Structure 1
Amino acid sequence: MTYTGAVTVGGPADVHELTDLMISKVAVGPMDNNAYLLRCRATGAQLLVDAAAEPQTLLSLIGEDGVESVVTTHRHGDHWSALAEVAGSTGARTYAGKEDAEGIPVPTDVLVEDGDVITVGEVELTARHLVGHTPGSIALVYDDPHGHPHVFTGDCLFPGGVGNTHQDPEAFTRLLTDVETKLFGRLPDETWVYPGHGADTTLGAERPHLAEWRARGW
């Protein structure tokens, strides 16, 4: 079946099958968060992006093969509320942005900085530090050697705009500048975007609206 990224709380995962990587997207409540399970096809190693909520849903998605790593995109509670149980049940290594780790009440094993590489089996993900939604938000970029890139943006980029900066003009300007520079400035239009909530998009679909976002201020 063709991947769409359209998932609902309580519904099944949608699976994006790439040559070297399988990406399973699931929605969990109560805040309609997305969690993403990445599986290296060569080794079977797995990594979870955001243990957001519903630990049993996430553990069922992970299955008997376990998960080696859990990456938390940022420190807001709706993105880590299942982290203690998932990490405790699986022994997974925990990752978070260096500037956000102190706001996550589960110990962070690896403090992530801009440009750091996180591996899942033979697959490499590059972290991009994006400031504004929180001080230490990170996006993860998978530059697929067989196709276009894929980026997991947490709450920093959605269809229609960047993440909430709580009407702080300085934070908004910083976030949009980081997103423009580190994502739009480095990646092609075909790049698939997997956000922390809601539907997926592509950089190409959003790129024409960057000036509009900056003008409106949110």
Structure 2
Amino acid sequence: MSPYTGDVEVGGPADVRELPGLTISKLAVSEMANNAYLLRCTATGEQLLVDAAAEPDALLALVGDGGLRTVVTTHGHWDHHRALPRVVEETGAETVAHPADAADLPVPVRRPVEHGDTVAVGEQVLEVVHLRGHTPGSIALVWRGPGDAGTHVFTGDSLFPGGVGNTQQDPARFASLIDDVEQRLFDVLPDDTWVYPGHGKDTTLGAERPHLGEWRARGW
């Protein structure tokens, strides 16, 4: 298997990362080039999907015969949940999202989560981090892997290489988002934390940390 890079293209194969305790498969879907992430506990085979964004056939093929226990939606924007109804219908997976964005989803949220809650995938535990600004209920998921697996964060549209998510030039929303991203991610997680965003390439907190001041100064 080729080393994981996180570089995926719509219509192309998933990029698969085998880590101690967890396998992460990243797939790009839709004209918006959304990233969907399938997490599988290596001990139990239990699976969790981060953002059933689009192309349900492709997502269900990624899930395969292993079954899907949970779908976490990072936020309520339409491009991140278009495949959610069909994926949930065919798998029976539990839907998880923050209550502030729940009304924007096309299916009921069976398990609302708040900042500091946890979501399990088999033996592995993901911590919910509420990042307010891109939407009121945007969340990230942090996995602190065992041994040398490192720390990994799935940020939705709240953090990308080169900046935080779009806040529509609203100063209050931008201030809220950059404050949350800085205080709840950069201030508490190490530089080698791998960042898996809702679109585009991956990054690390260490690669982005030197630019926090620039982001604040430019206001987006």
TM-score, normalised to structure 1, is: 0.99
CA distance, structure 2, for counterparts of residue 105 and residue 28 of structure 1: 18
User: Is 2:168 the counterpart of 1:166?
Assistant: yes
List alignment gaps of at least 5 residues for structure 2: none
Distance (Å, rounded) in 1 between the aligned partners of 2:107 and 2:167: 24
Distance 1:155 1:100 in 2: 14
Residue matched to 2:205: 203
CA RMSD for the aligned pairs? 0.5
Contact 2:84-2:106 within 8 A present in 1 as well: no
- Please show how residues 149-160 of structure 1 align to structure 2 within 5 Å: 149-160=151-162
Aligned to 1:123: 124
**Ranges of 4+ aligned residues in structure 1 off by more than 3 Å:** none
* Mapping of residues 36-185 of structure 1, within 5 Å: 36-147=37-148, 148-185=150-187
- Cα deviation code 1:109-159 (max 9, x no counterpart): 000100000000000000000000000000000011223200000000000
Q: Which residue type is aligned with residue 31 of structure 2?
A: P
The alpha-carbon deviation at position 103 of structure 1 amounts to 1.3
Worse overlay, 6-15 or 95-104: 95-104
Q: Any gaps of 5 or more consecutive residues in structure 1?
A: none
Q: Give the residue type in structure 1 aligned to 2:109.
A: T
Q: CA deviation at 1:25?
A: 0.1
Q: Distance in 2 between matches of 1:16 and 1:214?
A: 33
Normalised TM-score (structure 2): 0.98
Secondary structure of 2:176's aligned partner: helix
Q: Percent of pairs identical after alignment?
A: 65
1:69 is displaced (CA, Å) by: 0.2
Partner of 1:188, secondary structure, is coil
SS in 2 for 1:57: helix
Q: For residues 40-87 of structure 1, what are the alpha-carbon distances to aligned partners after superposition, in whole Å with 9 as ceiling and x for unaligned?
A: 000000000000000000000000111000000000000000000000
Deviation of the 1:105 alpha carbon: 2.0
